[in-house]
C-alpha cells in the first residue's frame, strides 16, 4: 500500500447502554425457551432494552457526548455526522438529522447509512474517504439501534438474539503518516434479501391491516443460513484486508467482530487460526445490537486496555443484505 502523509484516527470513543435489562430467564417467561438453550447456542446471557421514550437518536446522542469529550474536542469542531442504523427513529428524515439537532451541532452535513449489522464499517470506510478527500477534519460517527422495536416477541427463534445500544467515535485527520484506519474492504450480495429482512413497512409493502395481521413488521431470519454465510464472509473479508497490507492473522493484536453469536466468533478464530484470547467478546452482556455492536465493543476493548498504541486491530462484520466488511486499524499513540 502507498505511504500517506496524513492519517485518519479514532480520536474518541463512547457508548450508551439502556438501563433496563432483560435476562434469559425473563425471556423464558415470554416464549418457550431457557437460559441453558440461549447460552449454549448463542453465548448471550442478558441484553438491554430501550424505554418507550428512548430512540436511536437519544442513545446515539448519549454515546456521542462521551466520544466528543474523550476526543478532547468541542461540538463546534465536528464538521460531519454519519449514523449507521437499521432501526431509524422515523422512515425519514434521517436519524443523523434528528441526532444533529439533539446534540446541538452546527448545520453540518448529516446522513444515515443502512447496511444492517455491517453498518458501522460501511460508515467508517465512507467517512475515511470523505475525510481524506473532502474539506472535513473531524467527523462524528454513530451506530445506534433499537432492535427491540423490530422483534416479534412471540418468535423464540429471533427475539432472544438481539438488544438495544449505541456506540460513537470521533474520526480525525492528523498529519502523522500510516496510523489509525489503514483501510477497509466491504461487500454485499443482495440476491436473497429474505435470509434476514423485515417484509413490510417499506414502499414495497406499506403498513396495512393485512400486513399487521400477518405480523410482517418484524425481523425474519433463516438463522442457520446466516450462520454459515457469516463465518465465510468474515473470514474472507479479514484475509482480504490483511493481504492488502502484507499482514498475517498472527500480526493482529485484537479482532473485534460483530457480536451476533459466540459460536460464529469462535469459528472465525478457528478458521483464521487466531487464539480465542485475541477475539474481543461482550455479546454475553448485550446480545446482538446490530450497527451498535462494533462501536460499543471497541469502546469497551479500549477501556479494558485490550488495545495498545501500535497494535494492529481488525474490525469485522456481516449483516442483512447480505453485507460484510473488515477494517484494519493501527492504533495511534
Ligand atoms: N429456545 C429454545 N429452542 C429454540 C429457540 C429458543 N430460543 N430457538 C430455536 N429453537 C429450537 C428450534 O425450534 C429447533 O427445534 P427443532 O429441532 O425441534 O426444530 C432447535 O432449537 C434447533 O434450531 P436451529 O435453528 O437448528 O438452532 P441453531 O443451533 O442453528 O441456532 C441460531 C439457532 C439462530 C442461534 C443460530 O442459527 C444463529 O445464531 N444463526 C445466526 C443468526 C445471526 O447471527 N443473525 C444476525 C446476523 S447479523
Percent of the chain having pLDDT more than 70? 99
Residue pointed to by grid coordinates 478457528: 270
How far apart (Å, rounded) are the C-alpha atoms in residues 163 and 197?
17
Query: In this structure, are 211 and 246 located in the same domain?
Result: yes
Around ligand 1, the residues with Cβ closer than 6 Å are: 33, 37-38, 41-42, 117, 156-157, 160, 196, 221, 223-224, 226-227, 230, 260-261, 288, 319
Q: What is the mean pLDDT of residues 316-323?
A: 97
Q: Is there a domain that residue 1 lies in?
A: no
- Which residue among the candidates 24, 48, 70, 117 is catalytic per the annotation? 117
Q: How far apart are CA 315 and CA 3, in angstroms?
A: 22
Do 144 and 286 have their domain in common? no
User: Residue 88 pLDDT > 60, yes or no?
Assistant: yes
Residue 300 belongs to domain spanning = 181-330
Q: For residue 2, is it within any domain?
A: no
- Residues 86 and 232 reside in one and the same domain: no
Q: From 159, 177, 195, give the residue that closes a domain.
A: 177
Is the pLDDT score of 2 beyond 70?
Answer: no
Classify residue 21: in a domain, yes or no.
yes
pLDDT, tens only, 177-197: 999 999 999 999 999 999 999
Are 172 and 185 part of one and the same domain? no
Q: Summarize the confidence of residues 163-188 as an average pLDDT.
A: 97
Compute the distance between CA of residue 184 and CA of residue 242 in angstroms, rounded to an integer.
10
How far, in Å, CA of 42 to CA of 161, rounded? 8
Query: Which one from 254, 258, 261, 302 is the annotated catalytic residue?
Result: 258
The pLDDT confidence band at residue 5, using thresholds 50, 70 and 90, is confident
Q: 143 and 214: one domain? A: no
Q: In terms of domains, do 14 and 92 share one?
A: yes
Residue located nearest, by CA, to atom 13 of ligand 1: 157
pLDDT of residue 3: 62
- Assigned domain for 235 exists: yes
Q: What is the mean pLDDT of the chain?
A: 97
In the listed set 128, 149, 177, which residue is the last one of a domain according to the structure? 177
Q: Are residues 170 and 194 in the same domain?
A: no
Helices marked H in the chain: 24-28, 35-42, 56-70, 95-103, 119-133, 156-159, 209-213, 223-244, 262-272, 283-286, 293-303
Q: Which residues contact 255 (CB under 8 A, 6 or more apart)?
A: 238, 268, 269, 272, 274, 278, 279, 280, 313, 314, 316
Burial classification of residue 152, based on how many CB atoms lie within 10 Å of its CB (0-12 exposed, 13-18 middle, 19 or more buried):
middle
- Tens of pLDDT along 119-143? 999 999 999 999 999 899 999 999 9
Residues 237 and 124 in one domain: no
Q: How confident is the model at residue 4 (pLDDT cuts 50, 70, 90)?
A: confident
Mutate to test the pocket of ligand 1, among 29, 150, 157, 263 (most ligand atoms within 8 A of CB): 157
300: its cell numbers:
469497551
Strand, coil or helix: 34? coil
| Active site annotation includes 332 | no
92 CB burial (10 A radius; 0-12, 13-18, 19+): exposed
Contact 60, 168 (CB under 8 A): yes
Q: Ligand 1 atom closest to Cα of 27?
A: 7
Is residue 205 annotated as part of the catalytic site, yes or no? no
Indicate the Cα dihedral angle 248, 249, 251, 257, nearest 10°.
140
Write the pLDDT tens digit of every residue in 24-60: 999 999 999 999 999 999 999 999 999 999 999 999 9
Mean pLDDT of 247-266: 97
CATH of the domain at 116: 3.40.47.10
Asked whether residue 271 is domain-assigned, the answer is yes
Question: Is the residue at 122 inside a domain?
Answer: yes
| Res. 295: pLDDT tops 80 | yes
Model pLDDT for residues 282-293, shown as the tens digit of each residue? 999 999 999 999
Active site residue 97: no
Q: Among the three residues 129, 155, 177, which one is the final residue of a domain in this structure? A: 177
- Domain assignment present for 303: yes
Going from the Cα of 40 to the center of ligand 1, the distance in angstroms, rounded, reads: 11
C-alpha dist (Å) from residue 274 to 249, 263, 314: 7, 14, 12
Are residues 148 and 190 both part of a single domain? no
The pLDDT value given to residue 193 = 95
Task: Say yes or no: 21 and 151 in one domain.
Answer: yes
Question: Around Cβ 280, how many Cβ atoms within 10 Å?
Answer: 23
- Give a yes or no: residue 192 inside a domain: yes
Number of domains present in the structure of the chain: 2
Looking at the fold, whether 201 and 282 belong to one and the same domain comes out as yes
- The residue whose CA has the least distance to atom 1 of ligand 1 is 33
Give me the mean pLDDT over the 94-98 stretch.
Answer: 98
Residues 40 and 141 in one domain: yes
Amino acid at each position: 500500500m502507498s505511504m500517506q502523509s496524513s492519517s485518519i484516527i479514532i480520536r474518541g470513543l463512547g457508548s450508551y447502554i439502556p438501563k433496563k435489562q432483560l435476562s434469559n430467564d425473563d425471556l423464558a417467561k415470554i416464549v418457550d425457551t431457557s437460559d441453558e438453550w440461549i447460552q449454549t447456542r448463542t453465548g448471550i446471557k442478558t441484553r438491554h432494552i430501550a424505554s418507550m421514550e428512548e430512540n436511536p437518536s437519544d442513545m446515539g446522542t448519549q454515546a456521542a457526548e462521551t466520544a466528543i469529550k474523550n476526543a478532547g474536542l468541542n461540538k463546534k469542531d465536528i464538521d460531519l455526522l454519519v449514523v449507521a442504523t437499521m432501526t431509524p427513529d422515523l422512515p425519514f428524515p434521517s436519524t443523523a438529522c434528528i441526532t444533529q439537532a439533539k446534540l446541538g451541532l452546527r448545520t453540518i452535513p448529516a446522513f444515515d447509512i443502512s447496511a444492517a449489522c455491517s453498518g458501522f464499517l460501511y460508515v467508517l470506510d465512507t467517512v475515511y474517504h470523505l475525510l481524506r478527500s473532502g474539506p472535513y477534519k473531524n467527523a462524528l460517527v454513530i451506530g445506534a439501534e433499537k432492535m427491540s422495536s423490530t422483534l416479534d416477541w412471540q418468535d423464540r427463534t429471533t427475539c432472544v438474539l438481539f438488544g438495544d445500544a449505541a456506540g460513537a467515535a470521533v474520526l480525525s485527520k492528523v498529519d502523522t503518516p500510516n496510523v489509525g484506519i489503514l483501510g477497509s474492504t466491504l461487500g454485499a450480495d443482495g440476491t436473497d434479501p429474505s435470509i434476514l429482512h423485515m417484509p413490510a413497512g417499506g414502499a414495497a409493502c406499506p403498513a396495512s391491516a393485512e400486513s399487521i395481521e400477518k405480523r410482517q413488521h418484524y425481523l425474519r431470519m433463516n438463522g442457520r443460513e446466516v450462520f454459515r454465510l457469516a463465518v465465510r464472509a468474515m473470514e474472507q473479508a479479514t484475509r482480504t484486508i490483511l493481504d492488502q497490507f502484507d499482514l498475517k492473522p498472527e500480526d493482529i493484536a485484537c479482532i473485534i467482530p460483530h457480536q451476533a453469536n459466540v459460536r460464529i466468533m469462535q469459528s472465525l478464530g478457528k478458521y483464521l487460526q487466531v487464539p480465542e484470547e485475541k477475539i474481543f467478546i461482550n455479546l454475553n452482556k448485550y446480545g446482538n445490537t446490530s450497527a451498535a455492536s462494533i462501536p460499543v465493543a471497541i469502546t469497551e476493548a479500549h477501556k479494558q486496555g485490550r488495545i495498545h498504541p501500535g497494535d494492529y486491530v481488525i474490525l469485522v462484520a456481516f449483516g442483512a443484505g447480505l453485507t460484510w466488511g473488515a477494517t484494519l486499524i493501527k492504533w495511534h499513540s
